[in-house]
Amino acid sequence: YMAHLGGTVGALKLPKAQQAVAFGYERDAAGIYCRRRLALTEQAQREHSLLNQIFRTHLPNPADPSHNDPILSAMYLVKKTFLPKHLRRRQQHSVTLDQKLAHVQNVVSSPLRLGRFGVGWMANRTFARRKLPSIVLGPCANVVNLEFHSEQEPNPASRLTLVTERDRLGIPKLRVDWKITNNDLQSIARAYRLLGWKLETLGATISGFEAEHVIEMASKSGAMDGHHLGTTRMSASPADGVVDAECRVHGLMNLHIAGGSVLATSSQANPTLT
């Protein structure tokens, strides 16, 4: 059973030519929102024995009012409206009264900027037919955070099993025993090292790219976005998997499985239209 590891680790300070960096979404000829990402080449992945992963610029932690950003503080205060579900779960820690007051101070400090953002969000997200996928803000003090999204290696010890307890429909429930391997974490750390070297050659200043820090933060981040993979993996033989190359269950001519569960490896991208 595989998922995708993801989290926000590290930051980079951009050189003065930051206007050449595309932070937000662009739209293609069909009006579909697209966003640029950072990725290591296939050659680099092979040379350094890396799993697949990508990086993208990301928001500072909205829960920390020291970002001094009215939009981020508003996002935190009304998180059910703005934050994705997986991020809302991560924001359930207690916040002190001083922190709440600091968030309020951030919000009232720049009402015009917040108002312009609100109008744009309503137009492009609430009422638009093709909706803006998420909030992307430019750098704060010329610094941006980085988010990683990484492949997991296949691991027989990471699995789903049925238990005797049944749900209200009488179907046996699942026991989820999802595991992260040392190679999952080491691969992320090595990718950060290579990315950091390249960014520094381009004039950026990096922080939080140290291997120990990356591994610690990645191990705490957990699975990302509900990308469930594996468990009915494709194989040439029933001894090695569940479905054949046509997604037909081995030995059953009239039963097919369609979904991310048939993928034998997880890469780094959405397995289906999540």
Q: Contact 189/49 with Cβ under 8 angstroms?
A: no
Q: In terms of residue numbers, what domain contains 212? A: 5-170+180-227
According to the model, what pLDDT value does residue 44 have?
96
Domain presence at residue 72: yes
What letters, b where the CB count within 10 A reaches 16 and e where it falls short, cover 174-194? eeeeeebeeebbbbbbbbbeb
| Residue 136 shares a structural domain with residue 247 | no
* One-character DSSP codes across 49-94: TPPPEEEEEE---TT-GGG--HHHHHHHHTHHHHS-HHHHHHT-S-
| Residue 194 shares a structural domain with residue 74 | yes
Amino acid, res. 2? M
**The domain boundary residue, chosen from 209, 227, 245:** 227
Domain presence at residue 135: yes
| Residue 141 shares a structural domain with residue 259 | no
Which residues, given as ranges, of the chain have pLDDT below 70?
16-21, 80-94, 141, 274
| Residue 93 shares a structural domain with residue 141 | yes
According to the model, what pLDDT value does residue 19 have?
54
| Residue 187 shares a structural domain with residue 233 | no
C-alpha angle 140/40/191, rounded to 5°?
Answer: 75
| Residue 65 shares a structural domain with residue 84 | yes
| Residue 270 shares a structural domain with residue 213 | no
pTM of the full predicted structure? 0.85
According to the model, what pLDDT value does residue 18 have?
54
C-alpha angle 144/217/35, rounded to 5°?
Answer: 40
Domain presence at residue 26: yes
| Residue 83 shares a structural domain with residue 18 | yes
Domain presence at residue 175: no
Number of domains in the chain: 2
pLDDT in tens, 7-33: 999 998 887 655 566 788 999 999 999
According to the model, what pLDDT value does residue 247 have?
96
Calpha distance 10→199 (Å, rounded): 12
Provide the strand spans (E) within the chain.
5-13, 25-27, 33-35, 38-39, 53-58, 143-150, 159-166, 172-177, 205-207
Calpha distance 3→230 (Å, rounded): 8
| Residue 116 shares a structural domain with residue 206 | yes
| Residue 219 shares a structural domain with residue 90 | yes
| Residue 256 shares a structural domain with residue 165 | no
According to the model, what pLDDT value does residue 271 have?
86
According to the model, what pLDDT value does residue 265 have?
94
According to the model, what pLDDT value does residue 53 have?
95
Other CB atoms within 10 A of residue 163 CB:
9
According to the model, what pLDDT value does residue 85 have?
61
Domain presence at residue 204: yes
Domain presence at residue 64: yes
Range 46-51 contact pairs with CB under 8 angstroms and sequence separation of 24 or more: 48/190, 48/191, 48/194, 49/187, 50/187, 50/190, 50/191, 51/150, 51/151, 51/152, 51/153, 51/183, 51/184, 51/187, 51/188, 51/268
Calpha distance 33→38 (Å, rounded): 17
| Residue 30 shares a structural domain with residue 139 | yes
Calpha distance 245→55 (Å, rounded): 31
